[in-house]
A and B are shown apart, each in its own frame.
Chain A
Amino acid sequence: MSTTEKASLARAGRGPLGALEDGWVVAQRNLVKIKRVPEVLVFVLISPIMFVLLFAFVFGGAIDPGDGSNYREFLIGGIFAQTVVFGATFTGAGLAEDMQKGIIDRFRSLPMSPSAVLVGRTTSDVVYNVLSLIIMALTGLLIGWRVREGVLDMLAGFGLLLLFAYAVSWVMAYVGLLVPSVEVINNASFIVIMPLTFVSNAFVPLESFSGVLRQFVLWNPVSALTQASRELFGNTSPASAPDAWSMQHPVLYTLLWVVLILVVFVPLSVNRYRRATSR
């Protein structure tokens, strides 16, 4: 009996379509966990509600955004941005956990695409973000937030939030591959994500920052994302946008960051994954 006669059923090197299929198979595997451990989902859904209520009521009455708009309404866009960006921690944690478990040896011994575990993880986390956006929007509506532009603009707003969150997922995926254990990931993500979301216009109007900090806020992609979603939801007027290119063209500027992050972190993460050894 020769090798060729007793060929295995497997097909190696199935091209880009095969890579997508592999990614989807892994994403489905991740999503099964929602079904089997629904507690995770409860946590995922309750924390956005907490965020909306806490920020809206703690900061909501304190500050006047200065353009005559309702501050609580103004705040919601920032809360959306902050929550979906924080959601990327989940990606890092999920990946760090995968790398520690035995299953990763199975994946790495299969002729599957080397990007599949990462594509699958970041994709399944989009589902979490969609759910948390829906929950936050409903909570927002309950406390007086309104969409004041058309449906298309609204969808574009949610789309942009998801897209940016997806890109940040890849950053955290990379961090998840670097850290030695799941426990470290929360702290690691704090270091990356906290400054980005808090030194931005998400909660505090730009006017409260000055000097270097003000420049950081102006060019921080989270600020642009926040500005873009406020404009698309009609919660602020583009006319009152700060005088910086990033704030004048927040959608474009956010999209540029999405591309930049993906171009850097997708290859970086895939390469890291290839070389990482489990345990």
Chain B
Amino acid sequence: MTAMISARGLTKRFKDVEALSGLDLDVPEGTVLALLGPNGAGKTTSVRCLTTLLRPDSGTATVAGADVLADPDLVRSRIGLSGQYAAVDEHLTGFENLVMVGRLYGLGRQRSRERAQELLERFDLTDAGGRPSKTYSGGMRRRLDLAGALVASPPVLVLDEPTTGLDPRSRLQMWDVIRDLVAGGATLLLTTQYLEEADRLADDIVVIDHGREIARGTADELKARTGGERVEIVLADGSHAEAVRSVLATVAVGEVGVEENGRELTAAVEGGVLALQRVLTGVQELPGVEVLDVGLRRPTLDDVFLTLTGHAAETDTSDETAEATR
């Protein structure tokens, strides 16, 4: 299979920040690659380099058969970009925004209008299509922006954090839209901070941090390396931490994490529910242990980082990440 997106050794430096330090990417035709990483990992910088918005300091890239550095205009005619922040004109209506994009793709007036109407319908924006986009909710604006990326039906789509800031329902809708696009034959590069999202949508995942790859593989491969699901147990006080830890250790893959002065314990496990059951039984047999909460959860980006790098994801905007990984 031919690679629709292929990058070799991309680097980009902003003053004292090494935003990209030698990134390689390959996205075979008709597949989805998720670029997974915390705030400041270099996701947007990669996207901007691949979509001709930013010139990498070194490295090469081809997108849909065109060289990003040598032939940026050809690249632009073959990609659709939906950036991290919705790129819509707030004074124009949804319809006008899409018509404008169509005309700038060279579709002609009539074809642009038809295409705008089609896309408004597809993205559930027909009713709002006549209102200035300033009046749209964040989710609507995001959908309008994605619609803008699809105007010319480009074979390659690049979506930078398409679901960040969306409510759970809008997020599910966005996932459906993305799956439809892939079913229609599009090649997709998307960035995300959510392991679950990458798991649901992507064929391949590249985990990046500080502008370099720290892991790559299919969702299953990554999960195998990071130990799949987690059993998490919250205790009323930390005095029994050691006893509970040894119970968890009987089912854990790798080490048991102990946090909050021994009140919160986490272990990667295999065979989810069964492991949970054994933990519960084990803990019940311990005298005087008060369990506040216990449960099974999917690994998050933080877990991936913890297992792959031995440290939590460091970020430059810590509060946002805290939110994202919770």
Contacts and interface: CB of A to CB of B under 8 A. Distances in A.
A10 B106 CA distance: 6
B96 A106 contact: no
A58 interface: no
Interface in B307-322: none
B265 to A, nearest CB: 42
Given A1-B30, A8-B153, A106-B148, A32 B106 contact: no
A107 B83 CA distance: 12
A76 B185 CA distance: 65
Interface of B is mostly: loop
B258 interface: no
Interface residues of A, number: 37
Interface size class of B (residues with CB under 8 A): 35 or more
A116 B53 contact: no
Q: Which of B54, B100, B104, B107 has the most CB of A within 10 A?
A: B104
B89 interface: yes
Contacts of A111: 73-74, 76-77, 104-106
Contacts of B199: none
Contact of B103 (A1, A3, A21): A21
B104 A116 contact: yes
Contacts of A278: 53
Contact of A18 (B53, B64, B106, B145): B106
B289 interface: no
A146 interface: no
Contacts, number: 118
Contacts of B92: 29, 32
Contact of A29 (B2, B89, B145, B185): B89
Contact of B105 (A7, A11, A13, A29): A11
Given A25-B100, A36-B91, A116-B104, A8 B77 contact: yes
Interface in B84-105: 85-92, 96, 100-101, 103-105
A271 interface: no
A103 B88 contact: yes
A36 B93 CA distance: 10
Contacts of B89: 29, 101, 103
Contacts of B88: 102-103, 106
Contacts of B73: 12-13, 111
A237 interface: no
Interface string A1-25: 1010011111111100010011001
B76 A29 contact: no
B78 interface: yes
A214 B211 CA distance: 60
B91 to A, nearest CB: 4
A230 to B, nearest CB: 39
Q: Is the interface of A mostly helix, strand, loop or mixed?
A: loop
A101 B92 CA distance: 14
A109 B64 contact: no
B65 A8 contact: no
A212 interface: no
Nearest to B51: A109
A110 B53 contact: no
B53 A109 contact: yes
Contacts of B241: none
A11 to B, nearest CB: 4
B155 A110 contact: no
A110 B87 contact: no
Contacts of A187: none
Interface string B130-150: 001000000000000100100
B275 interface: no
Given A3-B65, A6-B185, A11 B77 contact: yes
A105 B85 CA distance: 9
23 contacts: A1-B29, A1-B185, A3-B78, A6-B155, A8-B78, A8-B105, A9-B111, A9-B153, A10-B78, A12-B76, A12-B106, A18-B106, A28-B100, A32-B92, A33-B91, A103-B89, A105-B83, A105-B87, A106-B148, A110-B104, A110-B105, A111-B105, A116-B104
Interface of A: 1, 3, 6-14, 18, 21-22, 25-26, 28-29, 32-33, 36-37, 101-112, 116, 277-278
Interface of B: 2, 4, 29-30, 48, 51-54, 64-65, 73-74, 76-79, 81, 83, 85-92, 96, 100-101, 103-107, 111, 115, 132, 145, 148, 151-155, 185
Please name the 10 residue pairs, one residue from A and one from B, whose CB atoms are nearest each other, closest first. A12-B77, A106-B87, A11-B106, A111-B77, A10-B152, A10-B77, A10-B105, A111-B76, A109-B81, A8-B154
